[in-house]
């Protein structure tokens, strides 16, 4: 129904899947793209979910930031596309 | 962590969209703009998870309203919008997401831009503003196919009259008779006339289908808004997840 270039969502949409692994909300963390060096909130990444798992791409250079695949009771997370994630830990009461 | 919500009321917003009111035990109060994941599990163990924005204002009673638009070939939305009955139970995860949110301590002007059912999380922000007695200036630009497709129309009307909400409808297919603007997509003129000027430093929240969000965010940036002040929530194809 939509064209390929519009097949993505925002990083926000991965918050539920990522909450299975991380204690803090990754989508509000600042992350640096390992490819182009852009630093943005993870919520601003482009998220592709119509695949086996979740792929987040940099909103600027479109390179892969994160891949998360869950098969039965095993989750495989590839974060090699991000140089770092920076969290505000004052929200950690959740 | 999955919670169980019991359906306590159902309300049709349009011919294809229904609000589901849930009561969820031990639920953490949400922040306006957040969403939940809903998990449905079939007797054979197959399960599907979908994300839905919360429409209600934050509250401490474990009350969560979702408005679900029925998608023609949807796997989950036809069930939620047609078959679900009062007393049924749903599995919920959340509230989710700390980025696309409006917090009641924010005092700057707020520009909301909705495309179709993208109104849902923005309605939570509008309701949150009213519940908190906030004086933050709110404007809503609501792009919708036709008048009959508008969600929450009576409530929005009352909010414009009593709560100082500024509201502009932009019809894309059918407009009411004598409507000043012919039906069509949002454009530069509309953004100029119906949104806060960028020099007031508003925070913008844009929600809708991906193609709509793409256009709306580009128009806002072109009219001088700083990209970092524009928060977006796209919805669209999510595929099947377990």
Element holding B15 (H helix, E strand): none
Give me the domain span that covers residue B163: 110-235
Q: Give domain status of residue B104, yes or no.
A: no
Q: Between chain A and chain B, how many beta carbons pairs sit less than 8 Å apart?
A: 78
Cβ atoms of residues B13 and B40 within 8 Å: no
CATH code where residue B170 lies: 3.40.50.80
The answer to whether residue B214 scores a pLDDT higher than 90 is yes
B22-27 long-range contacts, Cβ below 8 Å, gap at least 24? B22/B63, B22/B64, B22/B65, B22/B66, B22/B90, B22/B92, B23/B61, B23/B62, B23/B63, B23/B64, B24/B62, B24/B63, B24/B64, B24/B92, B25/B62, B26/B62, B27/B3, B27/B62, B27/B64, B27/B92, B27/B95
**Is the dihedral angle over the CA atoms B36, B60, B120, B34 positive or is it negative?**
negative
Q: Give domain status of residue B120, yes or no.
A: yes
Q: Of chain B residues 89-108, which have a CB less than 8 A from chain A?
A: 93-94, 96-100
Buried b (16+ CB within 10 A) or exposed e, A30-63: ebbbbbeebebbbbbbbbbbeeebbbbbbbbeee
CATH code where residue B10 lies: 2.40.30.10
Q: Please give the pLDDT value at position B238.
A: 52
B166-186: pLDDT as tens digits: 999 999 999 998 899 999 999
CB neighbour list of residue B76: distance below 8 Å, 6 or more residues apart: B38, B40, B48, B50
A50-91: pLDDT as tens digits: 778 899 999 999 999 999 998 888 999 999 999 999 999 886
pTM score: 0.93
Q: Exposed, middle or buried, B200 (CB in 10 Å: 0-12/13-18/19+)?
A: exposed
Q: Please give the pLDDT value at position A63.
A: 97
Q: Give domain status of residue B143, yes or no.
A: yes
C-alpha to C-alpha distances, B11 to A56, B20, B120, B154, nearest whole angstrom: 36, 7, 14, 13
Same domain, B36 and B73: yes
Residue A30 forms contact with B (CB below 8 Å)? no
The answer to whether residue B34 scores a pLDDT higher than 80 is yes
Report the C-alpha gap between B72 and B76 in whole angstroms.
11
Tokens standing for B185? Answer: 């997509």
Same domain, B138 and B183: yes
Same domain, B75 and B158: no
Closest residue to A50, CB basis, from B28, B99, B238: B238
Mutant choice from B203, B236, B240, B242 vs A, greatest count of A C-beta within 10 A? B236
C-alpha to C-alpha distances, B188 to B183, B211, B217, B220, nearest whole angstrom: 15, 16, 11, 8
End position of a domain, from candidates B61, B96, B131: B96
Q: Please give the pLDDT value at position B75.
A: 86
Report the C-alpha gap between B116 and B168 in whole angstroms.
13
The answer to whether residue B25 scores a pLDDT higher than 90 is yes
Question: Can you tell me which residue has the tokens 């998220």?
Answer: A47
The shortest C-alpha distance from B153 to chain A (Å) reads: 27
Among B18, B4, B1, residue whose Cα is nearest residue B88: B4
Same domain, B230 and B176: yes
Q: Please give the pLDDT value at position A6.
A: 65
End position of a domain, from candidates B43, B62, B96: B96
Task: Kindly calculate the radius of gyration of chain B based on its CA atoms and give it in whole angstroms.
Answer: 18
Q: Exposed, middle or buried, A69 (CB in 10 Å: 0-12/13-18/19+)?
A: middle
C-alpha to C-alpha distances, B55 to A26, A53, B125, nearest whole angstrom: 23, 27, 8
> Is the Cβ pair A43, B97 closer than 8 Å?
yes
CB neighbour list of residue B202: distance below 8 Å, 6 or more residues apart: B108, B109, B110, B111, B139, B195, B196, B225, B229
The answer to whether residue A4 scores a pLDDT higher than 60 is no
Same domain, B81 and B119: no
Q: Give domain status of residue B37, yes or no.
A: yes
Q: Where are the domains of chain A?
A: 4-86
């Amino acid at each position: 129904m939509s064209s390929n270039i519009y097949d993505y969502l925002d990083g926000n949409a991965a918050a539920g899947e990522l909450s299975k692994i991380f204690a803090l909300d990754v989508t509000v963390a600042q992350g640096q793209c390992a490819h182009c060096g852009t630093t943005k909130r993870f919520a601003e990444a482009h998220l592709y979910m119509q695949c086996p798992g979740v792929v987040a791409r940099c909103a600027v250079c479109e390179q892969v930031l994160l891949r998360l695949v869950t098969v039965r009771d095993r989750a495989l997370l590839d974060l090699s596309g991000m140089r770092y994630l920076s969290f505000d830990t004052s929200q950690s009461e959740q | 962590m999955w919670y169980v919500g019991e359906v306590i009321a159902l309300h049709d917003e349009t011919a294809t969209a229904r609000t589901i009111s849930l009561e969820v035990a031990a639920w953490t109060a949400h922040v306006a703009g957040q969403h939940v994941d809903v998990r449905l599990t079939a007797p054979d163990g197959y399960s599907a998870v979908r994300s839905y924005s919360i429409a209600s204002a934050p509250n401490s009673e474990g009350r969560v309203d979702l408005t679900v638009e029925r998608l023609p070939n949807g796997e989950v939305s036809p069930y939620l919008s047609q078959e679900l009955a009062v007393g049924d139970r749903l599995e919920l995860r959340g509230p989710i997401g700390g980025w696309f949110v409006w917090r009641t301590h924010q005092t700057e002007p707020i520009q909301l831009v909705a495309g179709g059912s993208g109104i849902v999380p923005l309605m939570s922000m509008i309701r949150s503003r009213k519940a908190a007695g906030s004086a933050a200036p709110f404007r809503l630009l609501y792009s919708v196919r036709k008048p009959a497709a508008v969600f929450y129309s009576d409530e929005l009307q009352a909010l414009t009259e009593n709560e100082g909400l500024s509201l502009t409808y932009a019809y894309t297919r059918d407009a009411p008779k004598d409507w000043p603007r012919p039906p069509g997509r949002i454009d530069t003129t509309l953004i100029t006339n119906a949104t806060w000027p960028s020099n007031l430093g508003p925070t913008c929240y844009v929600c809708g289908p991906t193609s709509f969000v793409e256009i709306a965010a580009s128009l806002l940036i072109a009219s001088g808004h700083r990209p970092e002040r524009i928060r977006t929530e796209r919805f669209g194809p999510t595929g099947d997840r377990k």
